Structure 1
């Protein structure tokens, strides 16, 4: 296939001409699913707080990029040493679908618990409304790939939405962005534990919306990026869905339509992850799994101390043997990527603020390439861990023919 001319803006890594005209906006809409309790102003929903809601909601948030117009935004779009274009702001929130609260009322019949028909029909109406909205977005943009982002602890609703907007924009706006926002942001000395519990609460809703997306024939692939405790929410949901697919005799990758999974600063018990990655063959549901680790992650060190278990996002040399790491990469397509030079105050939030990490995530999403090639020039150490140096090239011009043919 011939390479389309001038696809990448000279001097940057941004594929501006490939962005559909309908997406060339400095105030794009970022879709969201949340089980946070809504916040209202004069009866109108204007945002979502940190309290839990038993009813899942779907909507769209308008995010303002700091630019005058599309040409101005493109001219300044490259992953520079600040890692961002400008400050992003949520300017409007519109809830489009509100599901019924769960659990739905049920009754026992012939030894089984069955949901009341009226309740089942009402919930199904919400499902169809959600899928209709996604279907309309696919028709509007021409994109059939979904990009999901899930935040970590101490994050407000707006933070999750704007983080996804940043990732989606740098990745070339070649997907439909959908943030899953769970009830995080609890304050005080016990805030971390309250957020962790809220993450467990949200696993059911995560499974529901992932299932609704996978059911749609119009959806081709679902990429997922998760940070911190958000990795626990999505991996638990995905694990349970993978088991369901296997029980049905369906290959998880085909049944769930999952593409690339990216776990950054994962607040996950290392022992538990070893069991899932190895024993339960979790990774066979994905094209590849990229796990960014930082041994100097201060937040994960504290989490490990509080829970008395090492965290996978702060992977140490002796947590996995070299043989295991090589096997995971070869058979499971799991890539551990150690971030160098992230031992400061941003040691946990580096994926948002470290431009080298952002560059590699963007290239993984945009090119589908594995680490170590010309598209993602990472180096591997003697323990089979990929190393992301601070001087990672930030403005690469991928060979588009290679990308398309992959």
Structure 2
């Protein structure tokens, strides 16, 4: 093979690999396989959903800084472009395409049927914040936002808070569940993913997607999405701040995937620094509960220097980091950035005694996902029943890994082991609430 041929093959391979990286974070539209949980005393082999729960109620809420898409002057969706303004709204997600004839089962929860996919039926934008940065002026050595600009922003912030407060009171759920997607995710896909996760956690929280301007296509789409993630950090921080200020909100759990982990952890870090400087305990001020980083596309060195040095874990009851050394997307991200990714870490990436310190002192748990390969090596958190089970149990029981409520096994390297076919034992009170 000549030099030109080798160059051609090499370029072709690089393009294929980049496409694979970009596709790795793309969200599924099908309801995930059910986690290994027992409902009604039986372990259902299919994704069974009561008729009364097929349309999500409460709706799946969203906060986004994507560019809005209009039809007849009404926002109908959000694209991949950036918006200087945050928008808050509600979406109706339906567990669609029901196949009833041979699959109806009668239980005390009512009729059930096979659900083949999740569909976003419609959405409604409720609040649109002013563009940021707000207009400011310098006077007497200070550079302050102008009162009228601040008042306009505060008006929309209060409208957002009233909407959440009303939903908490209506449902009786003071816990917030936030999902932050990765690159190559369209807006609808993030709503579908959260609907799937929220359903299996028992619908006992107010679900809100934070959707940033991801989804750029092409060979360079990954890098464009990464930049858009940095663009969204300020909005993510404002979103978390405004949520925590609502008296009726009790806890805020956060689930992130891939590059969404970078967006959210940067915002969390800045809030931790801010509250600590004000003399407040970050955990109390931020109302944060459990943080889950699934396949995080985070530079391992940056995690050490920023998150660990700033002791961000102080703000959480626990942090669960799911890692897969066979994660193809993160391997390629490591090549492109010339830095290892924490979501593909092995015990060799940690100093002697570091994992034990992180677990005992920082309450950070690393959970290894095995046998997740190929196209599932990066999206396993929504497609692998065992991974979904553990995420659900972490959110519902607040238990640490290794006990009866989260029966994971510990390897000699102090990384918890989670096999794709790991059988979870029967657990109490894991039925989906009906009538909310």
Shift of residue 277, structure 1, vs aligned partner: 4.5
**Residue equivalent to 1:199:** 229
SS at match of 2:321: strand
Number of equivalences: 383
Name the larger-Rg structure: 2
**Residue equivalent to 2:30:** none
SS at match of 2:347: coil
Tell me if the contact between 1:153 and 1:192 (Cα under 8 Å) persists in the aligned partners: yes
Over the residues paired in the alignment, what is the CA RMSD in angstroms?
2.5
Question: Partners in 1 of 2:204 and 2:306 — Cα distance?
Answer: 31
Tell me if the contact between 1:322 and 1:383 (Cα under 8 Å) persists in the aligned partners: no
**Residue equivalent to 1:49:** 79
Indicate how the Cα distance of structure 1 residues 71 and 60 shifts in structure 2: closer, same or farther if over 3 A, else same. farther
Matches for 1:354-369 after TM superposition, within 5 Å: 354-369=384-399
**Residue equivalent to 2:126:** 96
Question: Partners in 1 of 2:39 and 2:418 — Cα distance?
Answer: 24
Name structure 1 gaps, 5 residues minimum: 1-6, 79-83, 402-406
**Residue equivalent to 1:291:** 321
**Residue equivalent to 2:42:** 11
SS at match of 1:348: helix
**Residue equivalent to 1:397:** 426
**Residue equivalent to 2:367:** 337
Indicate how the Cα distance of structure 1 residues 24 and 316 shifts in structure 2: closer, same or farther if over 3 A, else same. same
Shift of residue 216, structure 1, vs aligned partner: 1.1
SS at match of 1:65: strand
Tell me if the contact between 2:358 and 2:365 (Cα under 8 Å) persists in the aligned partners: yes
Shift of residue 40, structure 1, vs aligned partner: 1.4
Tell me if the contact between 2:55 and 2:92 (Cα under 8 Å) persists in the aligned partners: no
Indicate how the Cα distance of structure 1 residues 72 and 103 shifts in structure 2: closer, same or farther if over 3 A, else same. farther
Tell me if the contact between 2:273 and 2:310 (Cα under 8 Å) persists in the aligned partners: no
Question: Partners in 2 of 1:53 and 1:67 — Cα distance?
Answer: 34
Question: Partners in 2 of 1:185 and 1:154 — Cα distance?
Answer: 4
C-alpha offsets along residues 210-267 of structure 1, whole Å, 9 cap, x if unaligned? Answer: 0001111111000000000000000000000000010011111001000000000000
Tell me if the contact between 1:297 and 1:348 (Cα under 8 Å) persists in the aligned partners: yes
Tell me if the contact between 2:320 and 2:366 (Cα under 8 Å) persists in the aligned partners: yes
Q: Aligned pair 1:125/2:151, yes or no?
A: no
Instruction: Tell me which of 63, 66, 79 is aligned to 1:36.
Output: 66
Q: Aligned pair 1:136/2:166, yes or no?
A: yes
Shift of residue 347, structure 1, vs aligned partner: 0.6
**Residue equivalent to 1:3:** none
**Residue equivalent to 1:81:** none
Tell me if the contact between 1:77 and 1:170 (Cα under 8 Å) persists in the aligned partners: no
**Residue equivalent to 1:26:** 55
TM-score (norm. length: structure 1): 0.89
Matches for 1:236-255 after TM superposition, within 5 Å: 236-255=266-285
